[in-house]
Structure 1
Amino acid sequence: MRYAIRKAVAWTVGIFCAVVVFPAVAVADNPIVQHIYTADPAPMVHNGRVYLYTGHDEDGSTTFTMKEWRVWSSADMVNWTDHGSPMSLATFSWASTNAWAGHTIQRNGMFYWYVPVTNRATGRMAIGVGVSNSPTGPFRDALGRPLVENGEIDPAAFIDDNGQAYLYWGNPNLWYVRLNPDMISYSGSATRIPLTTAGFGTRTGNPSRPTLYEEAPWVYKRNGLYYNVFAAQCCSEFIAYSTAPGPTGPWTYRGTVMPTQGRSFTNHAGIVDYKGSSYFFYHNGALPGGSGYTRSVAVEKFAYNADGTIPMMTMTTSGPPPADTLNPYARQEAETIAWGSGIETEPAGEGTMNVGWIENGDWIKVKAVAFGAGAKSFTARVASGAGGGTVELRLGNENGSVVGRCAVPGTGGWQNWTNVSCPVSGATGTQELFLRFTGGSGYLLNMNWWQFTS
């Protein structure tokens, strides 16, 4: 978010405090990213982490103004690492606008990101493919042209147990192709799945669209049953789902997953299993300035019913409990955040990302930090093009007990990095850690990473 919008988050928190509802805000972990608007979540589990691929609604958007895609990851479902933007409209030389809802899947050590964009030559929505050998990119255009183009949107890929891959997409229709093993070509032609009321529910008041299916299919398989979770009806949308005995149907409508709610007239779902639990991703307009065009991704933990049906869920501000603890004695990226107030992120000159635009009173929360018997010292990689500031280490909340203070000097530039260290006392057990930044006026410092010693 730009300065005015990101400060609105801190301002709103302050107002909530004044009316004595601040504790609910302080413990909130939904939406899972607070420093920019995110939309259209596409989660993927790989090598013990959840990678989350999202769109990016530009600040102040009054339509779907989207120019890039973003990547985040987590090992515990509460602290999310910002990996920046490894793919944008500029990745596709043939695309002009609309970096809309995509989906990433891994095969044979490569990662394929299917995205809808406007084809400059035709003016229609088309689906391109970005490819990378890393889940965090950078991604390049795999084809130099669209994979498919029929003016429809919202691709989602699925690989069946027998190795056959499928790409689904569509609004107002629902299409699929059988992808070849290279994941960037397909056999046969695009097939339209019949949208019947038995398969996708009944919509009233719109004779041209008799079923609930609107867009954003999310297809996966569980215990031999195929699920298609989709955005239903318009507008506002809710999340519904259908099941089938095979990847192409016949589909049977099963009901609502998440009813219409939140300050967004669209929704977009993604479901994964991770560390023995199931998680449902969606978006809403919950951040300050949020709307149907400035959305934010959130997540809920859930359990399937005994018969395999999906329970109905509602949006929460709390989000899921930690799926694991965070090890403070391993180096942690500063942009690994459960909740941030006032901060932003940017590409770091040393690689990865750094937290920046830090001012007096800004803070970062990190959840489920496992200090164990106790931390002895704290080291951070910092830079400052001004006079520096102080990093206060607090437990419990941003005004909690101080267990350490690290002074950060001016370093002569916002990417001139140095390490600072300070003693720590009283950090034991598993805690919520707050890095609170203090100092004079203006921007104080940037932070790249941090690490405790035991």
Structure 2
Amino acid sequence: MITARPLPPTGARLTRAAAWVMGLLLAFAVLPAVVQPTVARADNPIVQHVYTADPAPLVYNGRVYLYTGHDEDGSTYFTMKDWRVWSSADMVNWTDHGSPLSLATFSWASKDAWAGQAVQRNGRFYWYVPVTNRATGRMAIGVAVADSPTGPFRDALGHPLVENGEFDPTVFIDDDGQAYLYWGNPNLWYVRLNADMISYSGSPTRIPLTTSGFGTRTGDANRPTLFEEGPWVYKRNGLYYLVFAAKCCSEFIAYSTAPGPTGPWTYRGTIMPTQGGSFTNHPGLVDFKGNSYFFYHNGALTGGGGYTRSVAVEKFSYNADGTIPTINMTNTGVPAADTLNPYVRQEAETIAWGSGIETEPATEGGMNVGWIDNGDYVKVKGVAFGRGASSFAARVASGSSGGTVELRLGSPSGTVVGRCAVPNTGGWQAWTTVTCPVTGATGTQDLYLRFTGGSGYLLNVNWWQFTPAS
């Protein structure tokens, strides 16, 4: 039985030709002229099948969880209805966990699912997000809570945590256990959160925006400092950092430091200059597996721009005095912080680079890769085959005539080490497991799952796993 496949969800769907063009554009427009990597090396932006924005990384239990906004396809404004979650154990292969939080989560919110941040405390996860309050028409900060970093999240209060018409919350928990919520545009505010993380003590306090603390802006008498929006606060070696989007428009990323969580702040300069095809930017910094990483967004994907943004990441090292070096956008991404084990179950939506695919919730749980046409592929980076694999298994479904999963090494046209045929299974969520022999997959390789077949959508993939050679 062949069943019709519904239209794909909104996303930044890349055709093979578009991915090639994007790689060329990035090589010339984003990178210095002397650096021209091939498309196969391009791993920024880190998500290619939907537009993402406003990254907020969180390290938990050996993984980086990345909380992002979601720009709608073809948007001509900040039309944002939900938030997304991704995670990685190696900084190059990112698992799509879908959308566990949306405007619908907050019964009192009407629009504007803008930049938020999630933190973990006492085994629970608190996600602070700005939305427009339906009753007042003003921006307010809501808080959602979950027992897992991937949700589902629920409204912790049923009303705003704080509301003064400003937005872009960031949360910081100091070494003494005191938590702080910061937010603001055009001002910069903070409150001290209580231990329950859903209430606060005292009243919101406005941080003085002085030129010594936040740099000097020229040409705008109403905003004498560089601070614009998107604050990100953290502590390192006893020094407090406040990283922010500076001087609209277009924005760059700057930072200030202080001896305490509420100041006094001293302006330290530019981290990421204006670049990247989006007139906004948003920082998120984290340390993971011994390295430091800087997350940001740009307009690098096909169709990308100021309202259709994509998250990317760069690895960096602090200077000896604790200052942050200048970081430029690249399309090469970061080196792998670890290898991927192919001999345990791997979700198909764990991807370093995807061409032509989409994701959707799977009836068996989690997400699956779908809307696959002939020639589409998924890249998985740094797969540690070791002495070799003997077979491959995949959980698949098809409401059409099916297709073939080609296992290639090194590139979409690289050496074929296995082919798995996928039949019609009776529906796009009618799952079955197919297996096929594997020959020649040894060492640590970039694996490409390349999909081939006839016209139209071919198949869905939920997960895959190799068996080691005996």
TM-score class, shorter-chain normalisation, is: over 0.9
Q: Which residue of 2 aligns with 1:423?
A: 437
Residue among 313, 332, 337 paired with 1:318: 332
1:216-273, Cα deviation, whole Å (9 max, x unpaired): 1000000000000000001000000000000000000000000000110000000000
Residue among 50, 70, 80 paired with 1:36: 50
What are the within-5 Å matches in structure 2 for residues 49-60 of structure 1?
A: 49-60=63-74
Q: Which residue of 1 aligns with 2:276?
A: 262
SS in 2 for 1:376: strand
1:70-127, Cα deviation, whole Å (9 max, x unpaired): 0000000000000000000000000000000000000000000000000000000000
SS in 1 for 2:70: strand
SS in 1 for 2:39: helix
| Further displaced range: 357-366 or 10-19 | 10-19
1:32-65, Cα deviation, whole Å (9 max, x unpaired): 0000000000000000000000000000000000
How far apart are residue 11 of structure 1 and its match? 2.2
How far apart are residue 26 of structure 1 and its match? 1.8
- Are 2:120 and 1:109 aligned? no
Cα distance in 2 between the residues matched to 1:18 and 1:140: 42
Cα distance in 1 between the residues matched to 2:284 and 2:20: 33
CA contact (8 A) 1:5 1:289 kept: no
How far apart are residue 25 of structure 1 and its match? 1.6
SS in 1 for 2:172: strand
User: Which amino acid in structure 1 is aligned with residue 418 of structure 2?
Assistant: G
User: Which amino acid in structure 2 is aligned with residue 270 of structure 1?
Assistant: G
CA contact (8 A) 2:12 2:51 kept: no
Cα distance in 2 between the residues matched to 1:261 and 1:188: 40
Residue among 228, 231, 234 paired with 2:242: 228
Q: Which residue of 2 aligns with 1:301?
A: 315
User: Which amino acid in structure 2 is aligned with residue 295 of structure 1?
Assistant: R
Cα distance in 1 between the residues matched to 2:386 and 2:248: 50
CA contact (8 A) 2:23 2:38 kept: no
Distance 1:108 1:9, change over 3 A: same
Cα distance in 1 between the residues matched to 2:206 and 2:22: 49
Q: Which residue of 2 aligns with 1:284?
A: 298
Distance 1:10 1:200, change over 3 A: same
User: Which amino acid in structure 1 is aligned with residue 358 of structure 2?
Assistant: E
SS in 1 for 2:388: coil
Matched residues, percent identical?
79
How far apart are residue 12 of structure 1 and its match? 1.8
SS in 2 for 1:57: coil
Cα distance in 2 between the residues matched to 1:17 and 1:213: 33
TM-score by length of structure 1 reads 0.98
Cα distance in 2 between the residues matched to 1:325 and 1:340: 19
How far apart are residue 13 of structure 1 and its match? 2.9
TM-score by length of structure 2 reads 0.95
Q: Which runs of 5+ in 1 are unaligned?
A: none
How far apart are residue 5 of structure 1 and its match? 6.7
1:270-303, Cα deviation, whole Å (9 max, x unpaired): 0000000000000000000000000000000000
Residue among 368, 380, 385 paired with 2:382: 368
Q: Which residue of 2 aligns with 1:12?
A: 18
What are the within-5 Å matches in structure 2 for residues 29-428 of structure 1?
A: 29-428=43-442
User: Which amino acid in structure 2 is aligned with residue 13 of structure 1?
Assistant: A
1:351-409, Cα deviation, whole Å (9 max, x unpaired): 00000000100000000000000011000000001111000000000000000000001
Cα distance in 1 between the residues matched to 2:352 and 2:184: 34
Cα distance in 2 between the residues matched to 1:446 and 1:207: 56
CA contact (8 A) 1:389 1:444 kept: yes
Cα distance in 1 between the residues matched to 2:313 and 2:443: 26
Q: Which runs of 5+ in 2 are unaligned?
A: 1-6, 28-35
How far apart are residue 199 of structure 1 and its match? 0.2
CA contact (8 A) 1:6 1:342 kept: no
How far apart are residue 6 of structure 1 and its match? 4.5
Cα distance in 2 between the residues matched to 1:321 and 1:242: 28
Cα distance in 2 between the residues matched to 1:27 and 1:353: 26
Cα distance in 1 between the residues matched to 2:349 and 2:204: 41
SS in 1 for 2:185: coil
How far apart are residue 10 of structure 1 and its match? 2.3
Q: Which residue of 1 aligns with 2:447?
A: 433
User: Which amino acid in structure 2 is aligned with residue 134 of structure 1?
Assistant: S
Distance 1:108 1:257, change over 3 A: same
SS in 1 for 2:342: coil
Q: Which has the higher contact order (CA 8 A, sep 6+)?
A: 2
Cα RMSD (Å): 1.5
Q: Which residue of 2 aligns with 1:443?
A: 457
CA contact (8 A) 1:5 1:288 kept: no
Q: How many residues align?
A: 453
Cα distance in 2 between the residues matched to 1:197 and 1:15: 43
Distance 1:160 1:404, change over 3 A: same
User: Which amino acid in structure 2 is aligned with residue 170 of structure 1?
Assistant: G
